[in-house]
Amino acid sequence: MDRIGADDIEAAARRLHGHVRRTPILPLELGSLGTRAHLTLKLELLQHSGSFKARGAFNSLLSMSVPPAGVVAASGGNHGAAVAFAARSLGHVAEIFVPSLASPAKIARIESFGARVHVINGAYADALAAAEKHQATTGAIGIHAYDAPATVAGQGTLARELDAQCTQIDTVLVAVGGGGLIGGVAAWFDKRVRVVGVEPVKCPTLESAFRAKAPVDVEVSGIAADSLGARRVGALPFAIAKDLVEGVVLVEDDAIRAAQNVLWRDLRLASEPGGATALAALLSGAYQPALGEKVAVILCGGNVDPASLNEIAS
């Protein structure tokens, strides 16, 4: 399966009813946060387990028969927390493999949902290799963070929800790691709305794939690498994005920190770096909207150590 569409997302939405939150939007006044756009924030950082990943995790688990060995996932943190939360909710055991760059706050979050956590030296790709080995030897079911139809369709329910909440949108800005979220968003809107990806300069997976015309490995680092640090964009998300995503803009780590600061200082929204990355494109000028353009920004994750917000604001 190299594409998903609105029908897959509608089916996922029916499956997810009663399992995930309908997260609110926050429309801001014209000129708010220094932008000339009509800005609406989609507060997905209020989702179960602290990120949009709960949608894909529940859709995956509800789409399959889970063996006694349970489920296994590799994650920079948010997907692991989502799988752990969904597994506990549905009565399954979960083993989560995270890279050593994962934040202590995210590891603690995963453990709080009852999953066993394995910390693997290296980046996400190294954790994925360890998770796949565990899956092969135990018979557990693997839940991929971004490169699986059920995951992408689940993430697409966010766009379906946003579409109903905010009927006039010109552009949606979406942070990109492995591509599951932007793949689902683009599949739902199907060019009815402009979809633009935002990546850290130090994690340019989709931007590099667009330039190469195929997914390629990239070096990943920086403050958002725990959530946006996939080495290669997923094949399924790229198959969608190459036709339905308008483009990708890159933002520096300093711009991401500044966006976190603005969200906390002005709106009292606690966002992790990856969750603030899409907004950083607007605030830094990496994405420049037309006057009055209706822009929706997905704040996709809030798994951040609260102490770090005081450090950012000081």
Summarised one tens digit per residue, pLDDT across range 6-54 is 999 999 999 999 999 999 999 998 888 888 899 999 999 999 999 999 9
Mean of the per-residue pLDDT values of the chain: 93
Apex 182 CA angle, 37 and 272, nearest 5: 75
Summarised one tens digit per residue, pLDDT across range 137-181 is 999 999 998 999 999 999 999 999 999 999 899 999 999 999 999
- What topology does CATH give the domain 53-142? Rossmann fold (3.40.50)
Summarised one tens digit per residue, pLDDT across range 96-149 is 999 888 888 889 999 999 999 999 998 888 998 999 999 999 999 999 989 999
Q: What is the CA radius of gyration of the chain?
A: 18
To which H or E segment does residue 96 belong? strand 94-99
Strand partners for 26? 41
Query: 7 φ, ψ to 5°?
Result: -65, -40
Residue range 6-51+148-313, CATH number: 3.40.50.1100
310 Cβ contact list (under 8 Å, min separation 6): none
Residues 78 and 113 sit within 8 Å (Cβ to Cβ): no
The answer to whether domain 6-51+148-313 and domain 53-142 are alike in fold is yes
Going from N- to C-terminal start, the domains of the chain cover: 6-51+148-313, 53-142
Q: Work out the pLDDT band at 314, boundaries 50, 70, 90.
A: low
Give how far the C-alpha of residue 165 lies from the chain's centroid of Cα atoms, to the nearest Å. Answer: 20
To which H or E segment does residue 105 belong? helix 104-112
